[in-house]
């Protein structure tokens, strides 16, 4: 086994252990980072829960990435991404403690996306099965910023159920790590494996019933890293952009459809609510554990499909995309049928 591979495995183990240990520490009221999330009318939890788990995840990633970079298992040219992530962590810590307006959060997200662009991560040719689109430089930058900002926000939107965001990180970044390994890109694989491992350490205490949440210092950073890794993989030729979109589609589909519906109803889309499809399943009586386990099955299937798409012909790739689009449509329609049968008016729905 090469020295770089050994270092990568050490880094992955360090990410898990550091995140696990700090998450456990932040559960204690004696910790300075024991910041409580108090339930409100939009929450799915009924008692105050610490929301500093994201700091533990980020710390695990930082320690592990440092080990991997020093040991040669990770490219050192990721400083721009690190700077963007650090900015989001800082803003998130302040937001968790004092609260920030949507404008300040959006400005930080755009700046973080700009830092990723400065680091060379932007859309060049955009490939779909059988075709490639060539946006100009300015359009490529604009699409990149929108893509990164949307990933940041959708991760934040979907961090509303025990074990959900942590599980998506384990499956999503684990899937990207597998694609990196299959594509002989050890640095890409190592970074994503580190993020998955750190999320796994946090998930030990976040699985239903959750004892701690990610908070605004964690969820946006995971979304940012998902966007950055997706762009990195595309630029490295490991996959087309639709592949990571498929991997994270359990988040993307729910968040995008819900946002579109709320916008069409004239609602203030930046306000907290309980009308995501996963939230509606919980309110239908499925509870956190049953719903998140069903979501894990969906995540595993998405990752398996993405891995299986390697080597597929154009027709099979479009067929795979069509199956997933139809599948999400059926799932969402099925949830609405259940609501009508039970006469349930979901909070936030008109």
Cα separation values, 173 from 119, 168, 198, 328, Å: 20, 8, 10, 21
Per-residue pLDDT band at 37 (split at 50, 70, 90)? low
Contact present, 205 and 24 (Cβ < 8 Å): yes
Spatial contact of 117 and 145, defined as CB atoms under 8 Å apart? yes
Name residue 49's beta-bridge partners.
37
Instruction: Output the CA–CA distances (angstroms, integers) from residue 324 to 127, 236, 255, 262, in the order listed.
Output: 18, 26, 16, 23
Rounded CA gap, 333 and 253, in Å?
13
pLDDT tens digits along 77-89: 588 899 999 999 9
Say if residues 45 and 87 touch (Cβ distance below 8 Å): no
- 44 alpha carbon, distance to own chain's centre: 20
Task: Please report whether residue 338 resides in a domain.
Answer: no
Q: Does the CA dihedral 90-83-200-26 come out positive or negative?
A: negative
Residue 309 lies in a domain: no
How many other CB atoms are there within 10 angstroms of residue 38's CB atom?
Answer: 10
Residues 6+ apart with CB under 8 A from 340: none
Residue 4 has a pLDDT of 64
- As a whole number of angstroms, the distance between CA 317 and CA 319 comes to 5
More confident position, 46 or 150: 150
DSSP E strand boundaries for the chain: 36-37, 49-50, 126-128, 131-133
pLDDT at 42: 57
Look up the domain containing 189 and give its range.
Answer: 3-251
Count of CB atoms situated within 10 Å of the CB of 252: 21
Q: Which two structure tokens, joined as six digits, stand for 259?
A: 């946002």
| CA dihedral sign, ordered 29, 34, 35, 39 | negative
Domain count, the chain: 1
Selected residue with higher pLDDT from 50 and 115: 115
User: Could you tell me if residue 343 is inside a domain?
Assistant: no
Residue 265 has pLDDT above 90, yes or no: no
Q: Indicate whether 20 pLDDT > 90.
A: yes
Peptide bond into 197 cis (omega under 30): no
Distance CA 220, CA 84 (A): 11
Task: Decide: helix, strand or coil at residue 157.
Answer: helix
pLDDT in tens, 64-118: 999 988 766 666 558 889 999 999 999 988 887 777 788 889 999 999 999 999 9
Assess contact for 219 and 151: CB atoms under 8 A.
no
Least confident of 95-104, 184-193, 339-348: 339-348
In a domain, 112, yes or no: yes
Q: Is residue 228 part of a domain?
A: yes
Say whether pLDDT at 308 is over 90. yes
Is 210 a member of any domain? yes
Whole-number pLDDT of residue 245: 97
Distance CA 184, CA 143 (A): 28
Instruction: Evaluate whether residue 20 is within a structural domain.
Output: yes
What mean pLDDT is reported for the chain?
88
The reported pLDDT for the residue numbered 41 is: 54
In a domain, 131, yes or no: yes
The two beta strands, 126-128 and 49-50, are: unpaired
User: Rounded to whole angstroms, how far apart are CA atoms 120 and 191?
Assistant: 17
Gap between the Cα atoms of 76 and 70, Å rounded: 8
What is the number of alpha carbons within 13 Å of residue 39 lying toward its C-beta?
10
- Whole-number pLDDT of residue 76: 55
């Amino acid at each position: 086994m090469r020295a770089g591979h050994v270092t990568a495995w050490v880094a992955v183990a360090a990410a898990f252990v550091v995140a696990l240990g700090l998450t456990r520490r932040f559960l204690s009221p004696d910790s300075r980072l024991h910041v409580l999330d108090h339930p409100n009318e939009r929450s799915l939890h009924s008692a105050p829960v610490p929301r500093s788990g994201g700091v533990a995840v980020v710390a695990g990633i930082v320690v592990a990435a440092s080990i991997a970079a020093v040991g040669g298992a990770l490219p050192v040219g990721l400083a721009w991404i690190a700077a963007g992530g650090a900015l989001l962590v800082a803003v998130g810590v302040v937001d968790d403690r004092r609260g920030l307006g949507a404008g300040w959060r959006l400005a930080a997200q755009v700046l973080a996306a700009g830092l990723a662009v400065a680091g060379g991560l932007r859309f060049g040719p955009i490939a779909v099965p059988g075709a490639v689109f060539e946006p100009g430089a300015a359009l490529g930058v604009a699409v990149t910023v929108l893509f990164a900002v949307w990933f940041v926000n959708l991760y934040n939107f979907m961090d509303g159920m025990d074990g959900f965001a942590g599980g998506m990180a384990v499956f999503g970044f684990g899937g990207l790590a597998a694609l990196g390994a299959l594509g002989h890109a050890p640095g890409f694989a190592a970074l994503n494996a580190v993020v998955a491992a750190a999320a796994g350490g946090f998930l030990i205490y976040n699985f239903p019933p959750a004892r701690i949440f990610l908070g605004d210092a964690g969820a946006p950073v995971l979304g940012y890293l998902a966007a950055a890794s997706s762009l990195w993989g595309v630029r490295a030729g490991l996959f087309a952009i639709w592949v990571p979109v498929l991997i994270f589609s359990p988040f993307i589909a729910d968040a995008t459809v819900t946002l579109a519906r709320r916008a069409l109803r004239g609602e203030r889309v930046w306000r907290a609510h309980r009308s995501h499809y996963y939230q509606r399943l919980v309110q239908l009586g499925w509870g956190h554990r049953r719903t998140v386990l069903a979501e894990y099955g969906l995540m595993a299937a998405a990752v398996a499909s993405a891995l299986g798409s390697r080597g597929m012909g154009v027709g099979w790739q479009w067929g795979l995309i069509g199956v997933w689009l139809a599948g999400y449509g059926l799932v969402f329609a099925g949830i609405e049928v259940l609501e009508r049968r039970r006469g349930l008016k979901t909070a936030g729905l008109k």
